[in-house]
Structure formats: structure tokens, C-alpha cells
A and B are shown apart, each in its own frame.
Chain A
Amino acid sequence: MDTLILLVVTGLGLGALYFLVASGLSLIYGLMGVLNFAHGAFLTIAAFLGWEAGRRISDGTWTGLAISALVGILVGATVAVLTEVLIIRRLYERHIEQALVTVGISLAAVALFEGIWGTDPIYTDRPAWLTQTTDLLGARIPNDRFLLIACAVLVLGGIVLFLKRTRYGLIIRAGVENRHMVTALGIDVRRSFTLVFAIGGAAAGLGGVLASVYYGYVSAHLGSVLLIFAFIVTVIGGLGSLTGAAIASVLVAVLQQFANFYLGGTGDLVVVVLLAAVLLIRPRGLMGKAA
């Protein structure tokens, strides 16, 4: 029983990380049809700069972590907005060029980060409580999982409130469904494109800082690794569906943990099999709209 609880909660923690990356990917694809392969770079630069800011002010404390998170969010949002305004905006409706450019950005970013921070992971200090465990029905749960889950729930709640309660949220929800009709109602939908990139970048930025807490290090490849699973989650959940991304994040991460434990470390393989099954049986994903 304690093993089951440990695997579920650990899976939820990992799912929280996937969701923070996948939420932005899903919204960006849903509204603009852009498969943003540069999203991992937003996460990595936010993780590095968040870590740099946190350790300079108060290394290994809650204050330092809060500053890291704040800087990570701001950096993620800023880099995402700059990417949209300077590069992606010129490539709307040109999907092959978008893929090539964003893949190029992600590769160049990794090389840049390795040039600045080196190729080896840099281990980070965390507040002491995050390195400890809590007993939950006999299972000793690493405390950082609770932080990840709480942050992801807050982000999900925040995005849902934004989408439901604000005019921009209304525009984004309508734009995900039919962008051209939003324009035909006299709304400059491009403004919401930038906003969605900012939201996605901010979530990825927070994800980057939390990933450094989860793994205990920052590295130039942090974003690339998470991006692969975030894409899988986005496809399984249904491109453009935030709820789908949240459900698929939990599903994929928990399944991954169980497979790693019970099937001899085959978590990644099982996730890819699940992706293939979803694509064959329900190509639009769990919550995606029909083509």
C-alpha cells in the first residue's frame, strides 16, 4: 500500500512538472497552430537565471527559492514574448518554417547555455524541508513533490480563472475554436497571441525552477528532456485543451512511475506505447476537438 501511495504521489509531482510545460504548449498550439519546439529553451533559461538570482540573494532558503521562482516566471514570460514578437509573428500559417525555426532556436539555445554554464549539471541547494520526507499512510513522500503539486494546481486554477473571467480569456477560448471568426468580430486576435506566449512562457519558467528543485540540479538539457514528455502529454490530452493537458500529465507521469517500478524501468517505453495507442484509437487526444 505504501509503495502504491509513493508511486502515485511521486507521479503526481512529475505530472505537475509536465503540466507546467504542457499548458503553454497546448494553449499556443490551440490558438495559433504553432508547434513551439523552443518552449524547452524558455524553461531552461528561466531555470538558470532563476537559480543565479536565488543563490546570489539567499542560497538554499525559502527566500532564495521564492526569488528564483519570481525571476524564472519573469524570464520565461519575457523570452517567450520576444520569441513571438521577433520571430513567430512573421511565420503564422507557415507551419514548416515555424517548426524549423523553433527547432533551430532550441538547438542553438542548448549550445548557448552549455557555452555559458558548461555541459555538466550544476547541483543546487534547496531549503532543508524540501530535501526531507513526510510520512503519508506509511509511505515516505519526498516533500518537494508537495510543492510541485501545489504550484501546478495554483497555475491550473489561475489559468482557468483567467480564461473564464476575463475578456482576453474569452477571446483566447474563442480563438482556440475558430480564430478567423474572432477576427471577423472585429478583434485583433494577434494581441492575444502575444499574451498566450507570455502565459505559456511564465508557466514554463516556473516549471524550470521547480524542475531544478525536483532533479536537484540545473543543466542545459533540462528543457529538452521535459519538452519531449510535455509534447507527448499535449498530444494525448488533445492539442489545445488545457484540461486535457492536466489529465494527460497526471496519467502519463503516474503510468511512468508504475512502469519504472513494476516493469523494470520501462516507464519511457510505456509512455511512448500509450502515445501510439492514443494516436491510433483517438487521434484527437482525450479532450481535443474533432478535426
Chain B
Amino acid sequence: MSGPVAGEPILSVRNLYGRIAGQQVVEDVSFDVPATGVTALLGRNGVGKTSTIKSILGLIDRTGEVRLAGERIDRMPTHRIVQRGVAYVPEDREVFGSLTVAENLRLAERDRSPRRELVASLFPDLEARREQRAGTLSGGQQQMVSLARALVNENRLLLVDEPTKGLAPRIVDEVADALAEAARTAPILLVEQNLLVVRRLAERVVVLSSGRVVFTGSAEELLDDHDRVQRFLGVHDEREAA
């Protein structure tokens, strides 16, 4: 896998439109994801964050230009985009409940040398539950499986959608730890409502409103500006959104 040219974004999105059942859910979205670190995609509920991620992956009908390290991927089917090194951690985990933990991970292995040791070190709890059906795991454990499926391969980009949604605070910390570790291996585009997690992980933010980008900049710049946080995200401070 070739990396991006120095300074070039790993992901470049231009004039992206997405539709679900004929309805426009992403409208003329343009932004870049740098080749290192975590970029958070923020916005109020229902503004099109998940749909933007799905549009990038081709999981919903889309038009526009999407480049991965300079290569156009917007006309590729989803599996080819993923094979190019884009891993996806979906909202609501979407683990295969009837398969065991081990089977979920084996299914996700694309590389000749999957990073099983890394996964085992990040998620030791899963090692003990390898033969357990994923559908019987707790929400936090399912999120670990979902993250592990992405991290078992060497990636050029991780698309992570609301990984802490509905999780207990202790599990949120564990997930954030795992994401911080993952960010050392590949850049991450992170959809996240929990602003404490955003402040901890993200260097850069892209804010959507009504399917359009309304702000791009550093995470600190946005999160320190309470007026903007209130206006763009509908919350007064980070603790309220946690």
C-alpha cells in the first residue's frame, strides 16, 4: 500500500452528495482528512455524519469526488475501497451476533499477516471470550469486537462512527484508549458525540449542519469557543455532551 505524498491528505472529499431512498442526506460536503492523527466529524443529531461516512464507503448512493491518498475511490464498490486499506467501525457495532468472537475476527482478516497480537494486547477480554457468540456480549464488548475487526488489518484510514454511543463511562475510557492506540497506526475520521472524547483524541474537527460543512479547524479552537459549540452542536459544554 502506498502512502500519501508528504502534506497530502489521506482522504479528500469534494462536493459529496449522498441519498437514501431518494432523499438527500449529504449535500455538497467537502473536507480533507490529514494523513496523521484523529479528525472528528461533528454535528447535531441527524445532520448527516453517519451518512457522510457511508457515502465515502459507497454504502449509500453518492456522487462527488472522494480520493484516498490521491486515488479516486468514489466509483469503486465498497469492498474494493476497504481492500485499499479503509477500515470501518459502524455505528451500533454491527457485529455478527450468531458468529463467535473468533469468527468475527477471522472474517475481517484481509492481510496475509493479520495483527492478532495487537488485537489481543488491546482487547485482552476478547481473548477469553473467543468462542462466545458475539450476540451474547455486552454493548462494550461488542464495541471491542467491532474495533478489533478494523484493527486486525494494516489500514491507511479508519472510519469510526460513534464508538462510545450508549456505553458506560468506564467502557468509554477503554474505547478511547484503544482509539488513541489505533491512531498511532493509522489516521482516523471519527464521528463522536462525546466532546470529552473528542478533546482527548482529535486534533482537527469538521462540523456538519444540515448535510453541509459549516466549520473546519482545530479541535481546541472549536471546543474552547462555547458560543460555537452551542451553535453548531447544541450543547453548552463538553460534560453536557458526554
Contact = CB atoms under 8 A, between A and B. Distances in A.
Nearest to B78: A183
Given A170-B107, A174-B107, A184 B90 contact: yes
B130 to A, nearest CB: 15
B121 interface: no
A177 B108 contact: no
Interface string B88-127: 1010001011110001001110100000000000000000
Contacts of B83: 186
27 contacts: A167-B106, A170-B103, A170-B107, A173-B96, A173-B98, A173-B99, A174-B99, A174-B107, A177-B96, A177-B98, A177-B99, A181-B90, A181-B96, A183-B78, A184-B57, A184-B59, A184-B78, A184-B82, A185-B82, A185-B107, A185-B110, A186-B79, A186-B83, A187-B107, A188-B77, A188-B79, A189-B79
Interface of A: 167, 170-171, 173-174, 177-178, 180-189
Contact of B107 (A180, A182, A188): A182
B79 to A, nearest CB: 5
Interface in B8-61: 57, 59
Given A178-B96, A181-B96, A186 B110 contact: yes
B197 to A, nearest CB: 23
Interface residues of B, number: 21
B204 interface: no
B59 A180 contact: yes
B156 interface: no
Nearest to B159: A184
B79 A171 contact: no
A133 B107 CA distance: 49
Given A170-B99, A177-B97, A184-B59, 14 more contacts: A174-B96, A174-B99, A177-B96, A177-B98, A178-B94, A178-B96, A181-B90, A184-B78, A185-B107, A185-B110, A186-B110, A187-B79, A188-B77, A189-B79
Nearest to A175: B96
Contacts of A183: 59, 77-79, 82
Contacts of A167: 106
Contacts of B212: none
A17 to B, nearest CB: 28
A171 B104 CA distance: 10
B99 A185 contact: no
B137 to A, nearest CB: 15
A180 B82 CA distance: 12
Nearest to A177: B96
Interface centre among A171, A173, A177, A183 (most CB of B within 10 A): A183
Contacts of A177: 96-99
Nearest to B106: A170
Contacts of B153: 186
B28 to A, nearest CB: 25
Contact of A185 (B77, B97, B98, B149): B149
A187 B88 CA distance: 13
A170 B99 CA distance: 8
A123 B96 CA distance: 48
B97 to A, nearest CB: 7
